[in-house]
């Protein structure tokens, strides 16, 4: 998979998938589940992101427990 151009104006969902090293369908699921940042713009019905938006976003890793909340130690 070629790495998307970080100097591009926008990245498509395929570019995001290539950046993370995942399949396009997985990137779509991440977007639906809210694990990707909100798109910066829509071209028709296609979401696009500025490269900086994706490069600064930390997505949960494989097997990450996102349902647990941190608790204060007493």
- Rg, the chain, Cα only: 14
What is the sign of the dihedral through the CA atoms of 67, 15, 43 and 7?
Answer: positive
* 26 located within any domain: yes
CB 20 within 8 A of CB 27: yes
Q: What is the value of pTM for the model shown?
A: 0.77
| Three-state SS at 48 | strand
Structure tokens at 50: 């500025």
* 8 located within any domain: no
Number of domains the chain is built from: 1
15-71 pLDDT, tens per residue?
999 999 999 999 999 999 999 999 999 999 999 999 999 999 987 666 666 666 666
* 46 located within any domain: yes
Domain extent, residue 37, equals 13-55
Residue 74 has pLDDT above 60, yes or no: no
């Amino acid at each position: 998979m070629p790495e998307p151009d970080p100097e591009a104006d926008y990245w498509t969902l395929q570019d995001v998938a290539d950046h993370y090293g995942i399949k396009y369908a997985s990137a779509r699921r991440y977007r639906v589940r809210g694990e990707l940042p909100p798109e910066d713009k829509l071209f028709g019905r296609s979401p696009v992101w500025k490269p900086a938006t994706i490069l600064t976003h930390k997505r949960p890793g494989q097997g990450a427990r996102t349902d647990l909340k941190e608790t204060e130690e007493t």
